[in-house]
Structure 1
Amino acid sequence: MKPIKAIYVDDEAPALELIKKYCTDMPEIELMDVFLNPTEALNYPHLAAVELLILDIEMPGLSGTDLLASVPKGKLCIFITADPTYAAKAFDLDVIDYLVKPVFPERFKKAVQKAIDYSKFTAPDAAQLYLTFKSDYKLNKVLLDDIQWIEGFREYIKIVTRFKQYLVLQRLSDFISKNEELGFVRIHKSYIVIKKDIASISTQGVQLKSGKQLPIGRTYRDLLK
């Protein structure tokens, strides 16, 4: 597998030099560039090719969390900071890892390997389609064909498959906006299904090919006609 392409942003020059040294000893990572100024990183002309962001959190002008929110979605992130109190916020942002300075080489290598493993796990499969999500502190990869329906509960969704149910911290509206291209459709304020799994639609609800009957909202019924 090709090395994961990364940049590192930190307003402390010694930290930049240390991580650069670590990366030269790791063939599995290609450190494309480093930046003392986060704004320069945001304007990096090769940003589209970057797969992994290694970011300090506390920086003047633009924090690491702000920088992460400003780049195109889909990039992996490792936070490196001197302040451990940011850990909870970092993991809320769904980052790969959170390292507290001083960072030692083995700990850095472990964080990079997490990013590589995540990238492999979520890579698209040419033969089959998968849905990847976090539940129970684990990364799960479920065949799309095994998913029966998805139900919303305020800040959470329940993904119901043929074999197991998963509780995921995500709003139903966020799920559909992210995964609509996979064939998911909303049939009710609380339910999402895969469109090809719908057997019939009536005023009473949606009948799935599995035989399961789910409620349907009037607005969504009109859209599905």
Structure 2
Amino acid sequence: MKPIKAIYVDDEAPALELIKKYCLDMPEIELMDTFLDPREALDDLLLESVELLILDIEMPGLSGTDFLALVPKGKLCIFITADPTYAAKAFDMDVIDYLVKPVFPDRFKKAVQKAIDYLKFSASEAEQSYLTFKSDYKLNRVLLDDIQWIEGFREYIKIVTRFKQYLVLQRLSDFMNKNGELGFVRIHKSYIVRKKDIVSIGAQSVQVKGGKQLPIGRTYKDLLK
């Protein structure tokens, strides 16, 4: 597997230098750049290729949590901070790990390995048969054939399977951008299904396997023809 691509943002220069040193000793991570000013790291071209964000939380002007909220969904994140009281908020944001300064090399390596394991899991041998996502503080993997439909609620989606429903912090449009190649199609501004699961298309609804009727938007109906 190729090294995971990362950037590190921290307003403390010694902390930047320490993590740079750790990364030089780890072939499994490519630290593409470091930033003292988080606003300078908000570069669309750079962030497009970054897989892992390593962020200090307490920074002037733009905190690490605010920074994470501004970047495209789906980026993995490790928070590094001197204040352990942020731990609960960090895990509410579903980050990969949370490190308290001073960060020691073994602990940093363990955090990076968690991110690498997540990427490997997402691109596992059955990548065309499973959907991998984070929900309720856990990494979940469900069979594509078990998914009945996906419903959007602004910043969240609900993945409905034959056995269980999952709430995921992700926009419906972001889900389609990431998983469209798995056979998903958008039938409505609030609904996604797998094209192979569509049984029939009516004037105002689509029937999917299992008999569920879902609304269809006129724009999306034209795309299914």
* Residues in 1 aligned to 2:48 and 2:198: alpha-carbon distance in whole angstroms: 38
Q: In the alignment, what sits opposite 1:118?
A: 118
* Residues in 1 aligned to 2:207 and 2:114: alpha-carbon distance in whole angstroms: 41
- Three-state SS of the structure 2 residue aligned to 1:86 is helix
Alignment of 1:1-225 (within 5 A): 1-43=1-43, 46-123=46-123, 128=128, 130-150=130-150, 157-161=158-162, 164-170=163-169, 174-175=171-172, 178-179=175-176, 181=180, 182-186=183-187, 192-202=192-202, 206-208=206-208, 210=209, 212-217=210-215, 220=217, 224=221
1:134 partner letter:
K
Q: Deviations over 1:105-135 (max 9, x none)?
A: 2211111001111112223879725422223
Q: Deviations over 1:45-68 (max 9, x none)?
A: 644332211110111122212222
Q: Residue 79 of structure 1: CA displacement?
A: 0.7
Q: Which runs of 5+ in 1 are unaligned?
A: none
1:193 partner letter:
V
Query: Does the 8 A contact of 2:207 with 2:214 survive in 1?
Result: no
* Residues in 1 aligned to 2:44 and 2:128: alpha-carbon distance in whole angstroms: 35
Q: Deviations over 1:151-188 (max 9, x none)?
A: 67997725214xx32432458xx336523734243569
Count of aligned pairs between the two proteins: 217
* Residues in 2 aligned to 1:5 and 1:127: alpha-carbon distance in whole angstroms: 21
TM value normalised by structure 1: 0.77
CA change 1:29–1:205 in 2 (3 A) is closer
Q: Which runs of 5+ in 2 are unaligned?
A: none
CA change 1:127–1:136 in 2 (3 A) is closer
* Residues in 2 aligned to 1:112 and 1:87: alpha-carbon distance in whole angstroms: 17
TM value normalised by structure 2: 0.77
Give the number of the structure whose alpha-carbon radius of gyration is greater. 1
